[in-house]
Amino acid sequence: MSGRKSGKVFLSFSIISLFLFSLISASSAQIIAPDGPGIEWEKPESHRLFLKGDVSSPFLDNNWSSLTGQPIGSVDFQKTVGSTNLIDIQSAPLTEDLEFNGNITIHLFASLDVANDGCKFTNVLPGSPLGAETKFSVSFSLGNNQILSDAQTNSIVMEESFTLAHEFLIDANDVNVSLLKGDLIGLKIDVMHDCAQTGVLWWDTYDATTGIEFKGELIYPELDQTVDPNGIIRVEFTPNSPWGNDLYISQVLEVIGPVEWEDMIHGNADEDTRLDHFETPHGIRIDEMNRTVLTWSSQSRLSAGKYMIDSCYKLSDQDPGETCDLVGVLRFEVLEPDPSLFNGTWAAILIPLSIIFWIGISMKEALLPLPAYGVILLLALTTLGPALYLPDIDFEEPRFEGAAPSFSLYEHDEDQQLYEFSDLLSNHDAIVIGLFTPSSPNAEIQRVDFEIAQKVIDDNVAFIQIATGEGVNSLDLNNLVNQINGSWPVLIDNADSSVGKSFPSRASDSVFVIDSAGFISTWSPGTMSSQSIEDAVQSSYLGSGNLPLDLIGLIFGTTFLPLIVLAMPRGEKYEVPDSPLIPGAGLVLTLFSSSIGFALWALPVSLLSILGLGSYWIFVEIVLSLILFYHGLSMLLRGGIREIEISGRFFYSKLPEPYRVWWKENKFLDDMYLGLWVAWLLWLRMPSTIPQAIGAVGRSGLIGLFVCILFFIGYMIMAGLVVVIFKTTLAIIGDLTRIFGSLTVGLRPRAWGLTCAILGMWVLLSIVVGPLMIN
């Protein structure tokens, strides 16, 4: 007996387990995990048009009433012979073409005007003159298509008041019609009421939804996204509906990622993957089909990865108790940007290989001790620091560090006034430029921010917005221009978007603050708050945050790494001066000579920026890169630069004789070269430092001119101090650096010259094939 019982238990357990497993498998089979980009919609199974208004002026619309008391709309009817017309109306014209294939149900809610069973008691013989039933006759048309013609509902003996109204139904199945924009929907309702008590047709309340139900696909919304070169996403939603955009009451959209495709399910995201949340549209545009498009723009930058836009929409014709009537999940992938032809990594490889190749060639003429070649290889390794920060060489690649691109554009106006970047620089202390793409919501946000900032910033700051990107249409700018009302110009970029592409953001939404020397003080993708604009303008007056002390901070990075080798001493031991000199005379002379070397580069650059050549700075940088190439070639071929040596001898000759007797000329020239290399390394790492810190400050009035002189002296001293720190550190190490330095006296300058020639040619090529090609 016990064996049978255990067998039955086991059999029952197996059957139950198999049943549960089949349920789980069936439910799992219905959930298909997404496996790639695309869009999925979960749409309502039906849509409705409700009877609204009062008896004197009824109409059809798609707003589900939330009233729970006595219905707003009603019409009385009495016992009559034959049918009596109650409603004969048409809807508003359709706003879009419509292909409908499905079923249609007409819902009518009616009851007696009194809450008793009078009709039931008088219903002696149903369906005869002695009956007391009620039914409705409905005619229904979609455009020119007559769907129902005097079709009759079910018959009911009404017994209740409006609180429990009876529902009368009539169906039209397998409806397949094509409607055009402007077509009307017609509804005619007649009643046949055999009861002596007054009946009422009710509508316009939550539980009396008299009207038309379309069971089938009726709306075709569109959800799309674009990610600009800065990783800023722009989301667009087109609320297509035959009843107009009012069908869509509200929406909630979330940008989620990065996540895997299989995890992209509505409402399934972790909190830490929710990047942005949208509700009220940032902007509205009209597309080429004259449809309204709601737009949003995120402030979060998307890195490469898989993302989704999880969207939820509330529709006016659906049950108000539901929170999400329409769900759209848009899956997309942000790809890694296309690699440049050559980036700084190639330079970091090319320079050491070139030095090694050059060493191999030089070894054929004479061999040096192995430690000497080790020092040169160390120099090659230290060049990795500046090389990695070199600009990419790529076609139409903007200059990310430097002056703002020059432009000459026409205003969106009847007069079409021409605005030159050089004229704006001459007449203003700063320029605030807002780039925006066609119909971008950021254009309006920029307008508001500019309007607020303009009120708190002095009048000598120019505000400009530039429409850039593909598809710029002057007609699309009319609304924005009208709102600006002449407060600042709106310019239209060239057909090829050459101006927008020249900015670091490329032709995408962004805001730039340009200082008086024509250099970008700061910029932000998308928009920039009015407070940030004000702060950036104030900062531009003082060099955009560039200070002489920053040179000392760069010692702890990779910028000045080559000085570890270049600052090695020639090999002479320290000699005590024969005559008394000031304390620390050697350090003072190093500081003085290296400051002179730095100034030989920085002075002309500062003067050019003070003179307002920022609008032509791309050509100045071409000249600078050629000079760097020349300096490198000269060092490689002859071990020195003639112009630097002539200048060095001049300044050396001005030293008091005791100092010249003690401090040899070659030491003075070596330190001058180190100051020059500090200037070039600073330019390679931060090209706009000197033009902004000196030029922009010098162009901000008489006080600014005085401050820029102090800044220039400060940079000279800090550059000299950088050299002093490196030389002192090497001296502290001891005889090892002196020995290595003596072994490579003639080799180090030439190896560094080869490096400088490559660096100069690299920057030149990056400018020629990049920003110069854009223009």
Tens-place pLDDT, residues 28-65: 334 466 878 999 999 999 999 999 998 889 999 999 98
284 phi and psi, to 5 degrees?
-135, 135
Contact 672, 644 (CB under 8 A): yes
Give the integer Cα–Cα distance in Å for 489 and 432: 12
Average pLDDT, the chain: 88
Residue 126 has pLDDT above 90, yes or no: no
pLDDT of residue 287: 81
Triad 398, 400, 403: Cα angle to 5°: 90
pLDDT of residue 2: 43
User: How much is the pTM?
Assistant: 0.80
pLDDT band at 536 (very low <50, low <70, confident <90, very high): very high
pLDDT of residue 129: 58
- Residue-wise pLDDT for 436-490, tens only, equals 998 889 999 999 999 999 999 977 899 999 999 887 877 778 889 999 998 999 9
- 10 Å CB burial of residue 262 (0-12, 13-18, 19+) is exposed
Residue 127 has pLDDT above 70, yes or no: no
What is the Rg, in whole angstroms, of the alpha carbon atoms belonging to the chain?
40
Q: Which residue has the tokens 């900062």?
A: 539
| Tokens matching residue 634 | 């000269």
Say if strands 461-467 and 490-492 run parallel, antiparallel, or are unpaired: parallel
Give the mean pLDDT of 511-539: 94
pLDDT of residue 745: 86
| Most confident segment among 334-348, 573-587, 632-646 | 632-646
Triad 33, 36, 37: Cα angle to 5°: 120
pLDDT of residue 573: 67
- Residue-wise pLDDT for 632-657, tens only, equals 999 999 999 999 999 999 999 999 98
Give the mean pLDDT of 598-611: 96
Residue 122 has pLDDT above 70, yes or no: yes
Residue 22 has pLDDT above 50, yes or no: no
